[in-house]
Amino acid sequence: MNDEEILSKDVDLEILKILSEDGRESYRKIAQELSKSPVTIKSHVEELEREGKIKSYGAQLDYEKLGYDIIAIIEITVSKGKMLEVEGMIAENPNVFGVYDITGTYDALIFVRFKTRKELSVMIKKIHTSEYVESTNTHLVLNVIKEGSSLVKILKKEEKEEE
């Protein structure tokens, strides 16, 4: 990697730090903070988007205040060879906010939000009707202690560990 590429990656990282804290930050403000031109910042952001390092922009909503205060984690065991098919079907449900392949006793972990227990019950029963689902185990979340992460905090932690 040459000096220009290293500088470019440094600028990219600084842009990602800023946007991870506030995705609405303007190119002009980022440019001021990094002593670059807004055109340069725009170019870097567009490249980060093309590379898929920036997937999307959005507001962080308080789902509990919007009435979606039931959060459940569903562990699923799937018949051999059908995991992606089952996960794809489940992922289509808009109440699902996470689908993960996992190791251990279960094959997949599903995170869901609902307004009512009845809605959750309907979903679990639908999952059970899939011919490829062997078993499930559902956990209700009682309290959310932490949700989400910060690139800035992750990088600070890594810096401390390197010292």
pLDDT for the residue numbered 83: 93
Q: Is residue 146 part of a domain?
A: no
Q: Is the pLDDT of residue 1 over 70?
A: no
pLDDT for the residue numbered 6: 57
pLDDT band at 7 (very low <50, low <70, confident <90, very high): low
Q: Is the pLDDT of residue 35 over 80?
A: yes
Query: Mind listing the pLDDT tens digit for each residue in 45-101?
Result: 999 999 999 999 888 889 999 999 999 999 999 998 899 999 999 999 999 999 999
* 129 in the same domain as 84: yes
Q: Is residue 148 part of a domain?
A: no
pLDDT for the residue numbered 4: 58
* 75 in the same domain as 21: no
* 122 in the same domain as 87: yes
Q: Is the pLDDT of residue 38 over 80?
A: yes
Structure pTM? 0.82
pLDDT for the residue numbered 80: 82
**CB-CB contact of 22 with 60 (8 Å):** no
* 80 in the same domain as 28: no
* 131 in the same domain as 78: yes
Q: Is residue 18 part of a domain?
A: yes
Q: Is 104 left (phi over 0), alpha (psi -120 to 50) or beta?
A: left
* 77 in the same domain as 25: no
Q: Is residue 65 part of a domain?
A: no
Range of the structural domain that residue 125 is part of: 70-140
Residues 90, 127: Cα–Cα separation, whole Å: 8
pLDDT for the residue numbered 59: 85
Burial of 112 (0-12, 13-18, 19+ CB in 10 A): buried
Query: Mind listing the pLDDT tens digit for each residue in 111-154?
Result: 999 999 999 999 999 999 998 999 999 999 999 999 888 888 89
Element (H, E) at 112: strand 108-114
Q: Is residue 145 part of a domain?
A: no
Total of domains in the chain: 2
* 129 in the same domain as 81: yes
Q: Is residue 26 part of a domain?
A: yes
Q: What's 105's domain CATH number?
A: 3.30.70.920
